Every structure is written in C-alpha cells, then in structure tokens.
Structure 1
C-alpha cells in the first residue's frame, strides 16, 4: 500500500540520484544511433542501475504507484499524474525489439532486464547467455534509449511534487552524533553518560583526577596552545568581551577577517555547550595546530580509539609566528589546510 511515506522515500532517493546525474553532465537527448564515448557508456550504465528501483513492481518507489497515489489524493495534480502514468506505461512496454543472434526477440524492458540482472545486480546465467547473443554496441544503444526516456519521467514527477509543496525530509532532532568507529568494539565500551549527545563514542566519563593526569602528560608547547585557546573562548563568549584582549591572541594577518569580533561572538555563543579537547594536533611541518571544540558537552569524557566524526565538531586553528616565536589563533570553523599558509 502506497502512503505519504513512499513519496518521502521517492523524493529522498531522487535527490541523491540527481547528484550522479548532475556529475555525469550528459546531453539531454540522444538519437538511437548516436555514437558514444567510454565515459558516456559508464554514465548510462550507472544510471541504469540506479533507476531500477523506480520501475520495479515490488519497490516502495515505483513511479507508477507513486503517481497513482498522488493522482487519487491531489486533484490539482490529476492531469500531470495521468501523463506520468501514461509515459511510464509507454516506456515499460516500448516495442523496440532486440533480436538476438539465435533468433530470440526481446522488447525494450526485457532487454534491460538482461543487462541489469545479467551484468550488474546479479550474474544470472540465462540472462548472460542472452547478452552473449547480441552485439555490445547495439545492447548499449538500447540501454541508453531506456535510461533517457525513463529518467525524464522520474525527474518530471520529482519536479511536480517539489513545485506543489512536497519536501525532501531531512534528518531532524539529532539525539546523538553519528560516527564511524575504527577500533575493536569487543575490547572497548560506550561508557559516556554525562554527555548524552556523544554517547555513541567508545569512551568513558572522566573526573577531575583523570583530567589532572592528562594535563601532567601533556608537553609545555601543547599546554601553551590549549591555554591560548581557552583564553580566547573565555573572552569571546562574554557580553562585554574585550576586542583588545582578543587581538593579542589572534594572528595579525587575520585582523580584517575577525573585524571587531562581534560576528564571532554571536556565532560561538549560538553553539550549545562547547567543550574543548585536551588533544592538540599538528600538520606535518608543525607550524599549524588544531584544537577541536565539541558541541553539547555536558560532562568531561575521554576517548582513546580513533573515530571519524561528521558533525558537532568545530576546529580552532593556530599558526606559529616564527618571528614572534609564539602560537596565534588563525580561524575557527573548518580545519585549516596547509596550503593556506
């Protein structure tokens, strides 16, 4: 049974499909007998694989089912959905005939099934045997014709829905940060409880004594960088922050970027519960330092295994001034790349 959820799935997956389509940047129209490059071959066959779910009867995003549901529930789209259904049926029953070398005749859809399930999604023996009985060039021309016609139908349906107020549902109300753990979960545990947003990390809560031990193991240079970072953030969040004090901490070459620090003050204060990492990272030349700041930190925690984290982290980048022989703050946000210095 088709529901509003199916429309959400359709819009969400087509949005991803558009990334591929935009990247390949193919012509809008090809004549059936047009020649093609290797790049076009790869692009068309990739699209063919991605489009399969929109034509399969047992998929949640079958174009015909989606269009019929919208037609039955939105009178203002009845005409458009009727055309989508008609175009879909026309493509699926297209009478372009592929005649194999053994005399077997296949319509367009059956030919596509041979390509899809023989070469790509599966290794169906019978379908591969069919493929062997047709010239590769002719087989691709048929695939391209199908992709060209079917893609237009999908994009028309997508655009109709977007224009009429249907929206691609994005992830809402994130309770915990998502991440990739690169360790062995059998010998590690997710023991972070005081900062629920970071509970997916493999780590543990820490108290004052453990923090003191971490400080003792940190070298003088890193402690200096952490002190500069801490002073900057303690000052920038104040309602009556001192521009003079902040300028003493940042690199002179960035004065114009920081301005009077009011924009940075507003931006940083809008980030909930920033917590500073005790780990300092350096570039290969050791003239750029990075200090991570984590959102939604309600209690201290420690992780000792590598993770890849895609959200909730902001990077304070510092550069070393060899003339003044001191570390200075350069930027806050994304990681500073070596080539900028």
Structure 2
C-alpha cells in the first residue's frame, strides 16, 4: 500500500512514464525523413542503454551482475525486442503515430492470453466474464479505429496496421517472458542489459541494411533531439513506470497508461494533419480503451483474491 509520502512522487513518475511513452511514436515519425528505421533505433536505444547502465551501476549493481550471468535468456529476448522494435518503427513510418499507439493497446489482452500457459492466476482471469467482455470490446474498437474512410464502416488493413498488430502480439510475448525472467532481480537492471543487447542488434542491422552515415550527416540539433527522445521515451519512461508500479500497484498503473494514445494524438496533430480521427474512429478508440480497461480490472480482481499465485509447474 502506498503511503502519503511515496504516493506523490510515484504519481509524478507515472505521469512522466505516460507522457514519455506517448511521445515515442511522435518522435519516431518525426525522424522518418532523416534516419532509416535501424539507424534511428540504434541512436535512441544506444542513448537509453548508456543512461540505464550508469543508473544500474549506482543503484542495482548486484542485480546487474546477476543478469549479465544469464546471457542466453537475455540474448533471446533481446532478439525478440529488436524484431518488434523494427516493426514498431516501420508502423510509425508507414502509418500515423496515433494509429500505431492505439492498436498497440490490444497487447493488454494478449498478455493475459499468453500468460495462461505460464502463470496460474491468469487461468482464472481468462475465464472471467469481465475479461471476455473487455476482449470483445477491444477488438471491436480496433475494427472501428481502422475505419479510415469517414464514409465507410469497413476496416482497412494496410502494412502499417499489420505491423502494429504484430507489435501488440509480440509485446505481449515480451512482457510475459520478462515477467518470468525478473522474478529475482530488479526490472531496471534487467532492462539495462536488454537495452545493451538490443543496441548491438540494431548496430548490426544498421550496418547491414541501413545508412549509419546519417548519424554523422544529421545536424547537431537533430542528433540531440534523437538522444533526448531515447532518454525520455525509453530510459526514463521504463524506470519511472517501474517505480510507480511498486508504490501505486500494477492495476492502477496499467489503467492510467491507457491514456497515452490520447496524448499521442494531441501532440501528433500539431505536426501532421493526417493524424485527425473521424467520429467513427473516436468511437472505436473509446471502445478499445474501455475494453482494455475492463481487461485490467478483471486481472486486478483475480489478483486480489489470489495475490500469491505463482508460476505454474513445468513453466
């Protein structure tokens, strides 16, 4: 239970994480005319990894050492992270920041579905009528959000849409996998090593398929902005969210973070007119976010009844 002393900074941390993750697709789309997807990710993840390494060396050195001793598991999950980040950046390049952010919220549904096989408490959640209703609402919301023609109620699936849906599913796998890995270490230490391995992956992809020379050709202002985006959207947002989660609870934080598509849309509209949503899409957005909120609520209710549920045997 959060005390009054811890609640205020934790609330600020949660707001910072929400804003940080909301700005990510805006930054990514903004850099689309300057960097290829691999080089942009290399620069942003590299800056985040350096910051997180310094943070972990000061506060989580023991856990950092523990995680470094598990290279096989972390390299595998870093490979998944590289794949999903490539899909995420390309979804923002090919579509809009708002659409990518909105569709990614379906990952909340997938997390519980995938956790069914590993975590005992999720087997109760997935049978909950609230979860099932929230899932149906979420996918109905996605269908309405994809009605990109204001005169039609037919959803339109393009490359950006499929990439965003892939990101939602792979992010769920990533989340469940991480939950299994960090049972005995601090999440920030784990993510530090993951960010380092991910940076190495993007360095290889940038050298093989990208244009790493743009790192030198871009102006100083652009480079600084890209570095700041990595620090804010990756390093700061993850660290702040873990702090808020510790003091405010996972369910509340998961519910609050659902607001970031609205913030993304507000910021993206300032730069691109095609970020505007039709009335049908706004209905879909409300339905999608309402459905994911019900999913979070179903999970919270089950966890309150069985707060000590453990990893299922044979996981």
Q: TM-score, normalised by structure 1?
A: 0.21
| Structure that is richer in helix per residue | 2
Q: TM-score, normalised by structure 2?
A: 0.23
By relative contact order (CA 8 Å, sep 6+), the higher-ranking structure is 2
Larger radius of gyration: 1
